[in-house]
């Protein structure tokens, strides 16, 4: 495996991690901002109030986006195996 191939696979892995984490993080950010605005308006300063909605939204996002995330991860795994096959053919 050449250095360029390794860097390319690593770059693709990091991009995949960002793509998979971004939707959940953005939704959690929006829920957190909404809860913070609610707490500021009602003057309820309970720190645990934001935990349950964020946990629920994270779970729902993972359920809704699970098939897409799985396809992305499987596609990356297939790409790695194809690269290994190509490397095996070129060295053998």
Model confidence over 27-84: pLDDT tens digits?
999 999 999 999 889 988 887 888 999 999 999 999 999 999 999 999 999 988 888 8
- Domain residue limits at 88: 55-92
- DSSP label at residue 45: -
- In the chain, how many domains are there? 1
CA atoms of 84 and 8, how far apart (whole Å): 13
Q: Indicate whether 85 pLDDT > 90.
A: no
Tell me the two tokens of residue 8: 């390319």
When pLDDT is cut at 50, 70 and 90, the band that residue 26 belongs to is: very high
Give the model's pLDDT for residue 92.
62
Owner of token pair 């960002």: 18
Give the model's pLDDT for residue 68.
96
Q: Is residue 30 part of a domain?
A: no
Q: Is residue 44 part of a domain?
A: no
What predicted TM-score, i.e. pTM, was given to this entire model? 0.78
């Amino acid at each position: 495996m050449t250095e360029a191939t390794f860097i390319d696979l690593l770059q693709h892995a990091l991009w995949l991690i960002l793509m998979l984490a971004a939707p959940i993080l953005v939704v959690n950010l929006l829920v957190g901002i909404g809860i913070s605005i609610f707490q500021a308006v009602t003057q309820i300063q309970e720190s645990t109030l934001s935990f349950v909605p964020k946990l629920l939204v994270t779970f729902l996002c993972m359920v809704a986006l699970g098939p897409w995330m799985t396809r992305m991860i499987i596609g990356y795994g297939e790409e790695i195996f194809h690269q290994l096959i190509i490397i095996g053919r070129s060295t053998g």
